Amino acid sequence: MKNIITVLLSLSVLGAIAQQDPQFTMNFANKLYNNPAYAGTNKICATGIFRQQWAGIEGAPRDILFSVHSPINLKIWEESQWINPGVGFTFIDDEIGPISTNGFKAAIANHFKFSSIGTISLGFGVGTMGVRIDGSKMRTPDGGIAGQGSSIQDPNILAAMGNRQYGFDMDFGLYYQSADEKIFAGASVAHLTKGNFSFEQDPTLGITKYQVQPHAYFMGGYRMNNFLGSEDWDLLPSAFVKTEFKTTQVDINVRAIKQNKIWAGVSWRFQDAAALMGGYNWHNVGGGKGTAKVGFSYDINTSKLFKHNVGSFEIFVNYCFGITPKPKISIHKNPLWL
């Protein structure tokens, strides 16, 4: 049964249009991946995430994500309200059945600061996406392996094995953070170029074609200080919406954090899964002003897949350095121009 599920998952990726981007539970920990406008919103920060989805099913999705971003502080715009750039980089490695996808993107953003309402950010992301089919992971319902005497004899599928193709990728996003940093909201669109990948010898068959569909993301959250009248506790409700304009996925998260250190929460993904999560924040790491964070989540399926897996696991590690890039470029006026 698990091998049949693996084949169905693989065919859905190759032959149908579905949500192709990796699925994460703790989306609040990887905002840069979903929205390039987030680049440079705080200090120099690096994040790593690992997710194993539907553990116990052969060929189930597995994702590794790494990102880093930083503000760009230059003397020429040190006091500017309108020019506050940031830069970021993300790398994703995603596997589902015999299909592996990886991508690298660079993001550039500018943050418009308003003393009364907060910061409004605009960002663009550009990069590459690579898609590969690994025949050693392709199974037929009887358990046979493609290319090793199994019943898979289609020349287009066999020709695709081991071949990786690359395409250009581009994102756009908007991000808002209130002046008191209690409210955030964002909207972005990924894969604007709608990359097309074709692995077959006869392009008219359309068996092993892979087209990346544009995805839209919406996020928002609020930090409620002094929850239930206690100065030690804050409540952080947030929402994340993901759509490829045919189907929509909605996540609702609620976290409670004590003294801005230890936290725990729950998440609900409509018609799919419920999750428990928790983590810890370390402040003044190494005697400086650095901050380290770690988080873990465990998803339980509420769909029919519940019977076939033991849940989904996700862990993230984040570190923000206690420094910001120092201005290095200044303007020197020539007295001849005075």
Q: What is the CATH number of domain 2-46+53-337?
A: 2.40.160
Q: Pick the residue with more confidence: 276 or 199?
A: 276
Q: Using 50, 70 and 90 to split pLDDT, how confident is the model at 333?
A: very low
Residue 295 has pLDDT above 50, yes or no: yes
- Is 50 exceeded by the pLDDT of residue 160? yes
The CA distance from 212 to 196, in Å, is: 6
Q: How many CA atoms lie less than 13 Å away from 120 in the CB half-sphere?
A: 5
Provide the β-strand partners of residue 209.
Answer: 198
pLDDT for 155: 58
DSSP conformational letter for 34 = H
pLDDT of residue 145: 56
Model confidence, pTM: 0.84
Domain spans, the chain: 2-46+53-337
Q: Is the pLDDT of residue 81 over 80?
A: no
Q: Can you tell me whether residue 16 is helix, strand or coil? A: coil
How open is the CA angle 313-315-318, to the nearest 5 degrees?
Answer: 165
Q: Does residue 212 register a pLDDT over 60? A: yes
Q: Name the amino acid, one letter, at 187.
A: A
Please provide the average confidence, as pLDDT, over all residues in the chain.
83
Bridge partners of residue 191, in order along the sequence: none
45-78 pLDDT, tens digit each: 999 999 999 999 988 999 999 999 999 987 666 6
Mean pLDDT throughout 25-52?
A: 96
Give the number of other CB atoms < 10 A from CB of residue 50. Answer: 14
pLDDT, position 15: 39
Mean local confidence (pLDDT), 245-261: 95
pLDDT bracket for residue 307 (50, 70, 90): confident
Q: Which residue has the tokens 């065919």?
A: 11
Distance between start and end Cα atoms, the chain = 81
Beta strands 262-269 and 273-285 are antiparallel
Per the CB < 8 A criterion, the answer to whether 21 and 242 are in contact is: yes
Cα gap 261→263, rounded to integer Å: 7
What one-character-per-residue DSSP string does 129-158 give?
A: EEEEE-GGG-B-TT--BTTTTSS---HHHH
